[in-house]
Chain A
Amino acid sequence: MAVQERASAAAAVQPPVTERITVLAWLKHNLFSTWYNSLLTILVGYLLYLVLVPVFRWAVLDATVSGDSKEACDFAGACWTLVKVRFGQYVYGLYPEDQRWRVNLALAIAAVAMVPLFLERFRHRLTYAVGLVLVYPLVGYTLFYGGWLGLPVVETPRWGGLFLTLVIAGVGITASFPLGILLALGRRSEMPVIRSLCVAFIELVRGVPLVTILFMASVMLPLFLPAGVNFDKLMRALVGVALFSAAYMAEVVRGGLQAIPKGQYEAAMALGLGYWQMTGLIVLPQALRLVIPGIVNTFIGLFKDTSLVTIIGLFDLLGMAKLIVTDPRWLGLAAESYIFAAFGFWIFCYAMSRYSQHVERRLSAGERR
Chain B
Amino acid sequence: MTGASGEPIIIMRDVHKWFGEFHVLKGINLEVGKSQKVVVCGPSGSGKSTMIRCINRLEEHQRGEIIVDGIELTSDVKNVEAIRREVGMVFQSFNLFPHLTVLENLILAPMWVRRTPRKEAEELAMSLLERVKIPEQAHKYPGQLSGGQQQRVAIARALCMKPKIMLFDEPTSALDPEMVKEVLDVMIELANEGMTMVVVTHEMGFAKSVADFVVFMDDGEIVEVAPPSVFFTSPKSDRTKLFLSQILQH
Residues of B within 8 A of A368 (CB): 98, 142-143
**Cβ of B112 and Cβ of A281 under 8 Å apart?**
yes
Select A286's contact among B84, B95, B98, B140, beta carbons within 8 Å: B98
Q: Given A270-B89, A272-B113: A282 and B58 within 8 A (CB)?
A: no
What 1/0 mask marks residues of chain A from 285 to 301 whose CB sits below 8 Å from any chain B CB?
11001000000000000
**Cβ of B91 and Cβ of A286 under 8 Å apart?**
no
Q: Which residue of A lies closest to B108 (CB)?
A: A281
Residues of B within 8 A of A367 (CB): 98-99, 141, 143
Query: B18 to nearest A CB, angstroms?
Result: 18
- Does A273 belong to the interface (CB within 8 Å)? yes
Interchain residue pairs A-B with the least CB separation, the first 3: A366-B141, A267-B95, A270-B89
Select A369's contact among B58, B96, B101, B143, beta carbons within 8 Å: B143
Q: Which of A277, A282, A289, A366 has the most CB of B within 10 A?
A: A366
- Does B138 belong to the interface (CB within 8 Å)? no
A residues contacting B by CB (< 8 A) are 261, 263-264, 266-274, 277, 281-282, 285-286, 289, 366-369
**Cβ of B144 and Cβ of A366 under 8 Å apart?**
yes
Q: A264-B97, A267-B154, A271-B88 are in contact. List 15 more A-B contacts (CB 8 A).
A: A263-B95, A266-B89, A267-B97, A269-B57, A270-B56, A270-B58, A270-B89, A270-B91, A271-B161, A272-B109, A274-B81, A281-B108, A286-B98, A366-B101, A368-B143
Query: B167 to nearest A CB, angstroms?
Result: 8
Q: Which residue of A lies closest to B160 (CB)?
A: A271
- Does B125 belong to the interface (CB within 8 Å)? no
- Does B158 belong to the interface (CB within 8 Å)? yes
Q: Which residue of B lies closest to A363 (CB)?
A: B99
Q: Given A264-B97, A267-B91, A286-B99: A273 and B142 within 8 A (CB)?
A: no
CA distance A259 to B98 in the complex (A): 14
Residues of B within 8 A of A282 (CB): 97
Query: A86 to nearest B CB, angstroms?
Result: 49
Main secondary structure of the interface of A (DSSP, over half): helix
- Does B74 belong to the interface (CB within 8 Å)? no
Interface residues in B, total, Cβ within 8 A: 30
Q: Given A366-B144, A368-B142, A368-B143: A273 and B113 within 8 A (CB)?
A: yes
Residues of B within 8 A of A267 (CB): 89, 91, 95-97, 154
Q: Which of A267, A285, A286, A366 has the most CB of B within 10 A?
A: A267
Residues of B within 8 A of A266 (CB): 58, 89, 91, 95
Query: A125 to nearest B CB, angstroms?
Result: 15
Q: Which of A266, A268, A273 has the most CB of B within 10 A?
A: A266
Q: Which residue of B lies closest to A369 (CB)?
A: B143
Query: B154 to nearest A CB, angstroms?
Result: 8
Query: A31 to nearest B CB, angstroms?
Result: 39
Q: Given A271-B109, A272-B109, A366-B144: A289 and B99 within 8 A (CB)?
A: yes
Residues of B within 8 A of A269 (CB): 56-58, 84
- Does B157 belong to the interface (CB within 8 Å)? yes
Using a CB-CB cutoff of 8 Å, which residues 74-116 of chain B contact chain A?
A: 81, 84-85, 87-89, 91, 93, 95-99, 101, 108-109, 112-113
Q: List 29 A-B contacts (CB under 8 A).
A: A263-B93, A264-B97, A266-B95, A267-B95, A267-B96, A267-B154, A268-B97, A269-B56, A269-B57, A270-B58, A270-B84, A271-B84, A271-B88, A271-B113, A271-B161, A272-B84, A272-B161, A273-B112, A273-B113, A274-B113, A277-B112, A277-B113, A281-B108, A286-B97, A366-B101, A366-B144, A367-B141, A369-B143, A369-B144
CA distance A261 to B88 in the complex (A): 20
Query: B171 to nearest A CB, angstroms?
Result: 13
Query: B212 to nearest A CB, angstroms?
Result: 23
CA distance A157 to B74 in the complex (A): 59
Residues of A within 8 A of B113 (CB): 271-274, 277
Residues of B within 8 A of A277 (CB): 112-113
Q: Which residue of B lies closest to A263 (CB)?
A: B95
Query: A367 to nearest B CB, angstroms?
Result: 6
Residues of B within 8 A of A273 (CB): 108-109, 112-113
CA distance A268 to B105 in the complex (A): 10
Residues of A within 8 A of B101 (CB): 366
CA distance A220 to B132 in the complex (A): 67
CA distance A189 to B154 in the complex (A): 28
CA distance A104 to B42 in the complex (A): 73
Residues of A within 8 A of B154 (CB): 267
**Cβ of A271 and Cβ of B99 under 8 Å apart?**
no
CA distance A264 to B93 in the complex (A): 10
